[in-house]
Amino acid sequence: MTKEDQFHVSEHATRNDLTNRSSQPLAVAMPSSQHLYEVRPRKDHRGVNLISDALPFGRLWYDGPEAVGNAIGYAEHRSRSHDAVIRVYDEAGTVIETHEHAGGFKEP
């Protein structure tokens, strides 16, 4: 069998595998649309980071006396159409607050 024949055989087998898989139910549960946020103090002691995969850049920096409140408010606003869990951590990495947000926003 030539290299070209092997390519065509493996390409055909891959297409058949994908076709057969599409008709089978997924074995793993699909992840929910819940967003998870973490508010963590910065190591340089200059405010807090809001961290989440739901954020476009992964993390945001908040500073000032209302840093934690502003981070929580932004996370709630960003997740207005999704359920969200927002965890606030202290310097030791212990959860000190947990906020759960039910995303009830619907387009009019």
**Domain that includes residue 94, residue range:** 35-101
- Whether 85 is covered by a domain: the verdict is yes
- Whether 15 is covered by a domain: the verdict is no
Cα Rg of the chain (Å, integer): 22
Candidate ranges 53-57, 77-81, 96-100; pick with highest mean pLDDT: 96-100
Beta bridge mates, 37? 86
- Whether 24 is covered by a domain: the verdict is no
The whole model's pTM is what?
0.65
- Whether 11 is covered by a domain: the verdict is no
Total length of the chain: 108
- Whether 22 is covered by a domain: the verdict is no
- Whether 10 is covered by a domain: the verdict is no
- Position with higher pLDDT, 25 vs 75: 75
**Total number of domains in the chain:** 1
Does residue 23 carry a pLDDT above 90? no
- Whether 68 is covered by a domain: the verdict is yes
44-72: per-residue pLDDT in tens?
A: 999 999 999 888 888 999 999 999 999 99
